[in-house]
Each structure stands twice: as structure tokens, then as C-alpha cells.
Structure 1
Amino acid sequence: MCDTFFSPSYRNLHGNAILAKNSDREPNEAQQIVRFSAQQRPQKRVKATFIVVDCPEQVHEVILSKPFHMWGAEMGINEQGVAIGNEAVFTKMHLPRKNDGLTGMDLLRLALEQSKTAQFALEMILELLGKYGQDA
């Protein structure tokens, strides 16, 4: 399982918020630290890990920690200061994987690329879940 740690700025020595997270990916799976500049996407669509989704033309700059083979990310931050860490939730229910929805990591990246606030990121994730569903 993932573990995430958050320290708001008023509780640490330097006055900066801290977000830290470990990954529950495979032990030898490479993670990339990548930076994507703010950009225009004239096509207003993007290929996530499994499906193509709508997105706004303008997206924010993001820094992400992501599995090398996925579009989405385990954790990241955008130029607005919004930071998100992906958490796995395990269940005993049998849910078939069809690869026809967004991954939790896709939701994280899409929210960071489009959000100016944490509240907006939450609302965006809920909207994306309703529109595209989640898989994998």
C-alpha cells in the first residue's frame, strides 16, 4: 500500500509545505521524474494510459514522478502549487480489468495539468470519474 505524508507550511521549520509519498509499484519498476512545461494542446484531446480524453487547450506546467510506461503519475505538483499523491485502494471484490477507463495516475496528472486550486482538482477528478470511469 502507498503511504503519503503531508506537512502544512505552518508546522515545519522552513515555512514550506511538504508532500512525500512512497510507491506500491513493482520493486524494480523504474520511476521517472519529469517536467512538462505549460503548453497549448490545440487538439483539446490527449491519450492517457488507455483511453483518449478531452482536455482544455491550455495546461499548467507540472513536475511528476511516474512509472516509465504510464501516462499518469504517482505524485506531482503544478505551477500553481497544487500537489497530489496517488493512493491505491485494495478490495476483495472481483473487478474485471478492461483497460477502458482512466487510471488513478491519469486522474492525478489531468487534475494537476488543469487545476489552480486543490478544491478545483478534487472537483475535476470527480467530473472525470463520472465521464470516463476508472480502470486498472
Structure 2
Amino acid sequence: MTDAASGQEILAFDLLGGEARVRELADRFYDLMDLEPEFAELRALHPPSLEGSRDKLFWFLCGWLGGPSHYIERFGHPRLRARHLPFEIGTRERDQWMRCMALAMQDLGIDDALQMRLMQALWQTADWMRNVPR
């Protein structure tokens, strides 16, 4: 997205509202995953405590959205597919992840145009993460 007055690109990180809003998004995502039965298979791929997962998603999203590179500073390149290969990820898990993220964005009242932009980009990554043919 470009600022009409300056002609400069506005980062998705800034459009979302910075670190505080990214943290809210990561937390809401994992709250939904933990509470809603429709995400049970996705939840089963995670450890009993979601605290580490919450932090990693927050750190990753900050950088992915154009903000601080917290994840890279801690762990190096995300290597998302390699890091997720130990888990069976099929279309069901992909779709649950995407639905959970969509609901988290809706619950936070994120602008519809920004939601659409982010969901399109996240879809490409989520689909690429599949490693089983179901």
C-alpha cells in the first residue's frame, strides 16, 4: 500500500498498528486455536503450553510484515518449511491455520482490505507448508 501524500510504501506492520497489534494478533490466534474445537487437529500439532509458539509467531510476523526482525535475531532465517517438516501438514491443517488466522484478524477488527492482502500472502505460505498429500 502506498501513502497518497508522500508516495512512499506503507508497511503492513505499520498498517496493522505495530508490535502491540501484532502481539494481539498472535495471542488471539493461539487463544482461538486452544479454545475452539474446529481447530483441534491443528492444536494437536503444538506442545501443551502455547507460550513458546505465541512468541515465535509474534516474532516471525513482526519481520514478515516489515517490522523488526525479532525472529531472525533469535533463530536465524525462518526456514519455515524445514522447521515444520516434522509435523504432518495437509490440506485440513492448512485450512484450519488459515481459518484461525482469519478469525483472529476479524476479532481484532483489522481493516478488511488489509485482512484480504495478508490472507492472500499467508495462503501462499500455508499451502507451501503442506507435506502430506491429504
Report the TM range for the smaller structure's normalisation.
under 0.3
Q: Which has the higher contact order (CA 8 A, sep 6+)?
A: 2
- Which is richer in helix? 2
Give TM-score scaled by structure 1 length: 0.25
- Which is richer in strand? 1
Give TM-score scaled by structure 2 length: 0.25
